[in-house]
Amino acid sequence: MIGLLQRVSQAEVSVAGKGIGKIGAGLLVLVGIEPQDIDSSVDKLLHKILNYRVFEDEGGQMNHSLKQIEGGLLLVPQFTLAADTRKGLRPGFSTAASPAEGERLYNLLVAHAHTAHAEVGQGEFGADMRVSLVNEGPATFILQV
């Protein structure tokens, strides 16, 4: 399971011109799901997302987590993160989970996030989404579990 974390001052996702998820300061996480991912992958990734120290403390060091700053979390499914780009000039998607399993695990991640964290927004699996953000830093990290 892949999480591309982007530290943001604000982020929003919309489908067909309608906003469906929005946060203030926090993390926008693009989520990619691979065939080997299982239910426990969801819990491992969520734990890392909530506790990964990417927010600055009083001394300017990255010592605070999303939980510590009580920031927003916007989860957006993005199967293209699991693309195979090792050869050729076009991505291959045999390295991504099947749509049914990807959707199931993404929905499980969203459900667990709502239980574990106060402010959670989400994208729509399989939709043509528009994502806007103000990246802070910029600070972007790839987490894999």
Cα angle 106-107-108, degrees, rounded to a multiple of 5: 90
Contact status, residue 105 vs residue 39, Cβ threshold 8 Å? yes
Catalytic residue flag (residue 93): no
Q: Which of 6, 36, 61, 80 is catalytic?
A: 80
Is 122 tagged catalytic? no
Q: Is 78 a catalytic residue?
A: yes
Check 79, 85, 115, 144 and give the catalytic one: 79
Q: Catalytic pick from 55, 78, 122, 125?
A: 78
Active site residues: 78-80
